[in-house]
A and B are shown apart, each in its own frame.
Chain A
Amino acid sequence: MQKVTASQLIDRAAALLSDGSVSAVLGWKQGEFDYDITPAVFADEQALRDAFVWNDFCGANFSKYLLKATKKVDGKVLVFLKPCDTYSFNQLLTEHRFDRDKVYAIGIPCEGMADIDKVKAQSGDGIVSIACGETIQVTTLYNDAPVSVELADVLEERCANCKSKKHVAYDELLGDEGDVLDSARFDEVAQLEAMTPDERFAFWQEHLSRCIRCNACRDVCPACTCEKCVFDNPASGVENKAPANEFEEKMFHIIRAFHVAGRCTDCGECSRVCPQNIPLHLLNRKFIKDMNDNYGEYQAGAEVGSRAPLVDFTLDDPEAADVLDRRG
């Protein structure tokens, strides 16, 4: 279960609203079925008490929402950030994408978020209600008694391979500070690297052929903040609303991964929102792993203002030939 409660967050937000420190709160809003939570801006205490939630299904990363919210709201915006969200927060600050002075950030500890598909694999479909406590109690139409699910068994992939419980940015921290973790997040990349080129091609072909080009991965991505994406621009010559063929289908995702390389914090929002369950995070992790291998460990968003290896020339950089040799 989560270490801080919704009422703690609501009380703190209400206090900051009432003393005028902040004028709006970016938070998670209750849905129809306890797990379908929507990001929302709360303007007053009543709105918070009516619908603000914090539970095992609050996966949405609010960092990117700050771009819009800080422009719309007079005064400061209060934002709640999970550890992984703080990396996106810093990365956006590095890129000067929002005004830090307009934000009051509260770091909140996170025990990982649940993947509703994994919950349903245990509880079955037809969810009537979900109560998040010591365990996740799922009441369905098809079971007489609530099914008890352990959060650890239904974590989203990015949470099962959590890279850090440490908040790298905040004005105020609720709960204890965590640590950067030694995660297994590159294991699957290593498996892909061990494949033959044909096997790897088949792997990506199978996954990427399901893409419906809805752009959810791009639109949710905190690293994708171009005012006008090249793929949305009819004047670019490459604008497209659907893959014209199998080649282009792959190009879109590979180009996007290149574009965010060095800036992607591995927050995992792309894979979380993909309606077709494409493991997009693996493309980004491959780039992160390569950069770590070639230029030394680098974590985008670990601090504000750091220069990503791909845009920072140093005399120690490996020669292209060395990199090729290493690939064998």
Chain B
Amino acid sequence: MRKCALSAMNDIFAAIASSKTVYLPVDGADGNAAFTKWEDGLVWSHALNTVRSPKDFFFPQTEDLMAFKTEGKTIEVIDIRKESEDFVIFGVRACDVKSFDVLDRVFLSEPVDSFYASRREHGVIVSLACSRPSETCFCGTFGIDATAPAGDVTAWKTEDTVYFEANTAKGAALLKDIEALTEEASDDAVKAQQEKTKTILAKLPLANLTTEAFGGGKTKEFFNHPAWEELSQACLGCGTCTFVCPTCQCYDIKEFNTGNGVVRYRCWDSCMYSEFTKMAHGNNRLTQKERFRQRFMHKLVYYPENNDGLFSCVGCGRCLSKCPISMNIVKVMKTIGGNNG
């Protein structure tokens, strides 16, 4: 384990930024933290997490896929992919690190999404252990340890010191780059912080929420549950939950007429939207109840059914704090699953 003074982090960021782009959570004028490209003097936020999740780095909201140019009777197909450059994301929380596993299973299974794969390959993740979880946190429900997040490097931040431990070859290489700025350290302070955090995690309001009732093979049990009606009653049909969610991965592919050509791009889509997966015959989910049900059934039943029991929720709590009507997966789990955690 290596360590450096918290006050020396600007030097660490500068050293890494000399060869790679560095992103880190920075407090914005609006009071929220957001992943921001590091520049000299930018201060690493103390916020628990960002509103937008770091999935943006691998699966951006909009992305051009290819372009077409017509001239007379010929159409030129232009490959507009650029080679990704190496980048480092600093301060990714345990929940969000886990979300990359969920996304990987979608984008890296055959046929591999080359856009996503290239960015995954070039991205280095420095995770950050939690020490002050919020009431909206429930990563423990999904077996995630907030005190020991995965990632290429795990970092722990105490009042005045940052500790680093490499978990992968990429992570070891990164620590090598900053070796001169860090020193060898014992893990006593980290262990003490982990113990303390664990006692807090056990006291969180959602500490006893479990996934027991859910998983693959439960479609028949839950699909026609009478509670969907009431749960979805006030849903506005906006896309907030899906767009702040680190694991929501649905997208649409569309074309844009530039006047003298066509750009094909993809953008995030939301199962909450009335136009989601619209087909020639219309929309296959006619009411908001059906769209609402789809989102939670996908996370709690369909995804685990197709992915060895892995749930596609990581308990980050973003939808809990951002839904305009405060309806969310926790309320769904407690109502449908009879789980009073």
* Chain A residues within an 8 Å CB radius of B51: 275-276
B25-43 contacts to A (CB < 8 Å): 28-32, 34
A24 to B61, CA, bound (A): 41
Min CB distance A24 to B, Å, is 11
User: Which of A126, A207, A212 interacts with B61 by CB under 8 Å?
Assistant: A212
* Chain A residues within an 8 Å CB radius of B29: 206
Given A125-B134, A275-B51, A276-B30, does the pair A38, B236 have CB atoms closer than 8 Å? no
* Contact B132–A219 (Cβ < 8 Å): no
Does B10 belong to the interface (CB within 8 Å)?
no
A148 to B32, CA, bound (A): 24
User: Which of B133, B200, B275 interacts with A239 by CB under 8 Å?
Assistant: B275
Given A210-B30, A241-B273, A243-B62, does the pair A273, B330 have CB atoms closer than 8 Å? no
Does A258 belong to the interface (CB within 8 Å)?
no
Does B327 belong to the interface (CB within 8 Å)?
yes
* Contact A141–B200 (Cβ < 8 Å): yes
* Contact B239–A33 (Cβ < 8 Å): no
* Contact B30–A60 (Cβ < 8 Å): no
Given A125-B134, A212-B244, A216-B238, does the pair A277, B31 have CB atoms closer than 8 Å? yes
B313-330 contacts to A (CB < 8 Å): 320-322, 324-327, 330
Min CB distance A150 to B, Å, is 20
A280 to B211, CA, bound (A): 38
Nearest A residue to B236 via CB reads A219
* Contact A241–B132 (Cβ < 8 Å): no
Does B243 belong to the interface (CB within 8 Å)?
yes
A1 to B179, CA, bound (A): 56
* Chain A residues within an 8 Å CB radius of B321: 36
Chain B contact residues: over half helix, strand or loop, or mixed?
loop
Nearest B residue to A57 via CB reads B326
A142, A210, A276, A277 interface centre (most CB from chain B within 10 Å): A276
Does A6 belong to the interface (CB within 8 Å)?
no
A141 to B207, CA, bound (A): 13
Does A195 belong to the interface (CB within 8 Å)?
no
Question: What's the tally of chain A residues with a CB closer than 8 Å to chain B?
Answer: 45
A220 to B270, CA, bound (A): 17
Digitize B248-277: 1 where CB-to-A-CB distance is under 8 Å, 0 elsewhere.
000010101000000001011110011100
* Chain B residues within an 8 Å CB radius of A277: 30-32
Does A214 belong to the interface (CB within 8 Å)?
yes
Does B203 belong to the interface (CB within 8 Å)?
yes
Digitize B95-113: 1 where CB-to-A-CB distance is under 8 Å, 0 elsewhere.
0000000000000000000
Nearest B residue to A129 via CB reads B205
Given A126-B132, A126-B133, does the pair A214, B275 have CB atoms closer than 8 Å? no
Does A234 belong to the interface (CB within 8 Å)?
yes
Does A213 belong to the interface (CB within 8 Å)?
yes
B188-223 contacts to A (CB < 8 Å): 200, 203-206
* Chain A residues within an 8 Å CB radius of B275: 232-234, 239, 241
* Contact B267–A241 (Cβ < 8 Å): yes
* Contact A278–B30 (Cβ < 8 Å): yes
Nearest B residue to A245 via CB reads B62
Nearest A residue to B242 via CB reads A214
Does B135 belong to the interface (CB within 8 Å)?
yes
Min CB distance A245 to B, Å, is 9
Nearest A residue to B324 via CB reads A273
Nearest A residue to B29 via CB reads A206
* Chain B residues within an 8 Å CB radius of A144: none
User: Which of A38, A215, A234, A243 interacts with B325 by CB under 8 Å?
Assistant: A38
* Contact A242–B206 (Cβ < 8 Å): no
* Chain B residues within an 8 Å CB radius of A220: 236, 238, 324
* Chain A residues within an 8 Å CB radius of B203: 141
Given A210-B34, A219-B236, does the pair A242, B132 have CB atoms closer than 8 Å? no
A129 to B117, CA, bound (A): 44
Where the two chains meet, the residues of B that have a C-beta atom closer than 8 Å to any C-beta of A are: 28-32, 34, 48, 51-52, 61-62, 132-136, 200, 203-206, 230, 233-234, 236-240, 242-244, 252, 254, 256, 265, 267-270, 273-275, 278, 320-322, 324-327, 330-331
Closest A-B pairs by Cβ, 8 of them: A242-B267, A273-B324, A36-B326, A277-B30, A219-B236, A216-B238, A275-B322, A39-B234
A-B contact pairs, 26 of them (CB 8 A): A31-B326, A33-B205, A39-B234, A40-B230, A40-B233, A41-B233, A65-B234, A117-B31, A125-B134, A126-B132, A141-B203, A141-B204, A212-B61, A212-B239, A212-B244, A213-B239, A214-B239, A216-B238, A220-B236, A240-B267, A241-B267, A241-B273, A242-B268, A276-B32, A276-B51, A277-B32
